[in-house]
Structure 1
């Protein structure tokens, strides 16, 4: 026990002196809702991708009790492996206050680990093990990747931080020692997460030639500079950017307003297609190529939900969008030098699948050939099952399916804004990732990668949560939430090109999904939502069996050859 605490103490002192290395531990801080990992200009936690030996498995664990990407080495060469993967960080209120003060004063991990080390414990049950069967010969969909959104709010918050702390955000999300994102979603013009609604060519009005849309807006110029820095810091050559418009300039709309019941005027169908191409051209001129566009963010907001949605939106019904895509946007993109830019359809909740596409096709037979992918938002996933996406994919084979937006705190019954350190919110993410990937999804793009402690800024105050929260008082700290690690258990270890393989386990509270990676290793994500520990017997058709003790309320990624 003492040697383990001493080891962590020496590590913390080493990192405090020399700065963050490829492997560095979470600096934990207890909050009202749970635990966050604190990053400052001089320190942030990272983890090199594990490289298991031929007979080994590497177990990466996060738990409600306090683990964040903790690493254990297991072996297929022994009959049973009992692994203590739980670091208990439960403390009294007085101890919590003392630990928080210590972290605030810059003494980092050491004292909190000394306190916690005295309570290291194994809580594994003696109940019979659950069998998890992995069959790598049965393959499903290929993974496109994972990412987050770069909104006006994100760009603004990054600009409030020093360069070192900005770089920690870029590296934490997009570097291989972070959580390995490769996708990025950005608005064309403004969105609800901005200081005000805006679009290109607001003036002059009634201008089909878009005469004032000849260069990027200064706000997008700043974004491009930040994205260039992101690519440099993350050592990322291929950043896949998907762009989507929330609204056209008001003069193109039937109601001539940013929100409310408003659709695109027919006389501006070609202009709106040209608007998208112009953005692609201007971004490409800045060496920031667009990988994909969508047909528009949440088209139902400007039609059926216009009474409730008060941020900028452009309404579509599928029949009209089919005409625009088939007769205007599709030909405009495909006949340009950017003909290889992908087009994603719908960009809305999965309750509209597959009916949306059926109605589009009836309106303009063959229109769906212009679509390379299907964009889905997660906000009503708890009600509408992923089988609706399976059905859509059966009708539209070969399309990429991406979740393109997700956040928590949007519902009337939820806390609006962050619940700093909430394990439960992280678990909601982990479970939805797992369920969607068990079906037809090829990847996931979250909403804002960072927000402030109120869950903004946003001009309509629709504050929500985010994986990383910026201290908006001193701008000297950022907080990695459980949501960040929930996403990372998938994105970090399941790179682009991985293929889902069969993984079966007979349990309501312990679930798993498995992938064969491009490096031929297997990555298996395992969730235990139960309040008690369990033993899981991993059985791989090639490697054999290994027993793993899984703590209560925990997430794990297992990587092996």
Structure 2
């Protein structure tokens, strides 16, 4: 069969699948914006990708995204000696003709994402061999997720059609979306709210009266999350809670922010607050998987001149006392004794010193912690050695990134940059780096923000993987960052085990997983400006070569 006939046959098969399948694969509706391309979702249209299925043990599937415009384009081939495939990059569509039909549009979409069995013209092609050794295993993945803040609640509540919200939920948490299973929410308020708030704000309310009923802001959020579970059919949503600040009356400065710590006489009250919140969520149909010892404790100690939002300061010494003498025993002796406890929820520069000082203050206090959670904001400055030292010091702890976004630095635009492939690449590099160094999961920050990067009650605006059009409240835009995260989450379910994936040179960055169904999922990241021939060599399956375009990321799936 000639190469051209092979393309047409493959396109026809894709067309038949699109018409006669379950209807879950819907292509991106591309829109050109300031820095690249986004995918537009409305109440009646949003892109999805049904998870690939493999027909035999030699077949592989490849999901591809690129700077030029591919968004979860799918192709397939077979492991066989000498086999070489080429990923066709995105081609700008021809302006719609008057006699264009549904058939021709589907065929064009199929052709745009098909493999071609011959090399395309390229000025430069580089070469790399990727060796996947499934017998050498590392950490087990807990999953991936995003955060549902007050800002998210506000934006979703303003959508004009409920179907648009459903598309947002399914885009992140459904199998045909990103397949997320983790979520982070604030205990009380955070900066991405319309104002600072907490439960039991009344001065001297040491009995925490009123915490048996949801605050009106949580009524909205809990309702949204329960709808998310319903429409996305997420199988095991794991929610992690974290408090930004205690009510001001519990704090040394009697303020939401600034240099303020928890008063010692309220250590038990603050532990009871967490316990009551866990019960409140459970009673309202939202069981909690994990809580942390508090969001970014150093904000209320060293960074109060820069941080204007809700915060409460801890040192490792004071947090050790609170955890060891109050929070730990309170939780472990309650009906929520099996809740996962995370420590720190702050930047990499505090690792592992924070936990060593905790144990120095209260020997073995860190034993109360099941995991250590990290925010990614200074990873580019503080290297991987701090993480390696932490895993050596506490090898039995879960490691997760619990907050990430772009726009927080003085040298970054503190707002969405629509269509930015560069920001997607930053995510890809960070995911690869942290997973390669032993992290078990990743929770991103807000799943959606407005065009300004809010709402945020102190204008602490940033970027997000999805941006709402608040002019109409009738559409949202999936950023390249959305797809970058999906290349790690979509085909890597909870329980997947990282295995060795070693590229022969720096032209490729990669990580691979052995999934619970015994299939291999490997992420292939070509950040270079040249096309790349990747020869994949599996310790059991054999090999094949695929040529991928410059500035692209792919997820490979095979048995």
Q: Distance in 1 between matches of 2:393 and 2:462?
A: 35
Q: Tell me what 2:200 maps to.
A: 201
1:78 shift after superposition: 4.5
1:390 shift after superposition: 2.1
1:51 shift after superposition: 1.6
Aligned CA distance change for structure 1 residues 153 and 305 (closer, same or farther; 3 Å) = same
Q: Tell me what 2:347 maps to.
A: 349
Q: Tell me what 2:356 maps to.
A: 358
Alignment of 1:462-473 (within 5 A): 462-473=460-471
2:526 to 525, 528, 535: 528
Residue 82 of structure 1 aligns to a residue whose secondary structure is strand
Q: Are 1:34 and 2:32 counterparts?
A: no
Q: Which runs of 5+ in 1 are unaligned?
A: none
Q: Are 1:87 and 2:90 counterparts?
A: yes
Q: Distance in 1 between matches of 2:258 and 2:530?
A: 49
Residue 433 of structure 1 aligns to a residue whose secondary structure is helix
1:4 shift after superposition: 6.5
Alignment of 1:446-485 (within 5 A): 446-485=444-483
2:366 to 365, 368, 373: 368
Q: Distance in 2 between matches of 1:505 and 1:257?
A: 52
* 1:267-287 CA-partner distances (Å, limit 9, x unpaired): 000000000011000000012
Q: Distance in 1 between matches of 2:513 and 2:11?
A: 34
Q: Distance in 2 between matches of 1:20 and 1:186?
A: 33
8 Å Cα contact 1:19-1:42 kept in structure 2: no
Comparing 243-252 with 233-242, greater Cα deviation is found at 233-242
Q: Distance in 1 between matches of 2:299 and 2:108?
A: 49
Q: TM-score, normalised by structure 2?
A: 0.92
8 Å Cα contact 1:36-1:421 kept in structure 2: yes
Q: Distance in 2 between matches of 1:111 and 1:24?
A: 10
Q: Tell me what 1:317 maps to.
A: 315
1:152 shift after superposition: 0.2
Q: Distance in 1 between matches of 2:24 and 2:274?
A: 40
1:112 shift after superposition: 13
Q: Tell me what 1:541 maps to.
A: 539
Q: Tell me what 1:65 maps to.
A: 68
1:506 shift after superposition: 3.0
Q: Are 1:185 and 2:187 counterparts?
A: no
Q: Distance in 2 between matches of 1:419 and 1:110?
A: 30
Q: Tell me what 2:377 maps to.
A: 379
Alignment of 1:196-275 (within 5 A): 196-203=195-202, 205-275=203-273
8 Å Cα contact 2:87-2:546 kept in structure 1: no
Q: Distance in 2 between matches of 1:414 and 1:20?
A: 42
Q: Distance in 2 between matches of 1:410 and 1:206?
A: 36
* 1:476-507 CA-partner distances (Å, limit 9, x unpaired): 11111100000000000111000000111133
Q: Tell me what 2:411 maps to.
A: 413
Q: Distance in 1 between matches of 2:547 and 2:490?
A: 23
* 1:270-325 CA-partner distances (Å, limit 9, x unpaired): 00000001100000001210100000000000001111100000000000000000
1:214 shift after superposition: 2.5
Q: Tell me what 1:137 maps to.
A: 135
1:84 shift after superposition: 2.7
Q: Distance in 2 between matches of 1:349 and 1:217?
A: 30
Residue 232 of structure 1 aligns to a residue whose secondary structure is helix
Q: Tell me what 1:489 maps to.
A: 487
C-alpha RMSD over aligned residues: 2.6
Q: Distance in 1 between matches of 2:62 and 2:289?
A: 34
Aligned CA distance change for structure 1 residues 414 and 211 (closer, same or farther; 3 Å) = same
8 Å Cα contact 1:61-1:85 kept in structure 2: no
Q: Are 1:393 and 2:391 counterparts?
A: yes
1:7 shift after superposition: 6.5
Q: Which runs of 5+ in 2 are unaligned?
A: none
1:128 shift after superposition: 5.9
Residue 399 of structure 2 aligns to a residue whose secondary structure is strand
Q: Tell me what 2:332 maps to.
A: 334
Aligned CA distance change for structure 1 residues 6 and 354 (closer, same or farther; 3 Å) = closer
8 Å Cα contact 2:140-2:498 kept in structure 1: yes
Q: Distance in 1 between matches of 2:294 and 2:107?
A: 48
Aligned CA distance change for structure 1 residues 72 and 237 (closer, same or farther; 3 Å) = closer
Q: Tell me what 2:57 maps to.
A: 54
Q: Distance in 2 between matches of 1:480 and 1:230?
A: 18
Residue 307 of structure 1 aligns to a residue whose secondary structure is coil
Q: Tell me what 1:308 maps to.
A: 306
1:236 shift after superposition: 1.9
* 1:62-98 CA-partner distances (Å, limit 9, x unpaired): 0011100111111113422222331233x9xxx9xx8
8 Å Cα contact 2:81-2:543 kept in structure 1: no
Q: Are 1:23 and 2:21 counterparts?
A: no
Q: TM-score, normalised by structure 1?
A: 0.92
Q: Distance in 1 between matches of 2:238 and 2:473?
A: 29
1:125 shift after superposition: 6.1
1:237 shift after superposition: 3.6
* 1:233-272 CA-partner distances (Å, limit 9, x unpaired): 1112421000000000000110111111000000000000
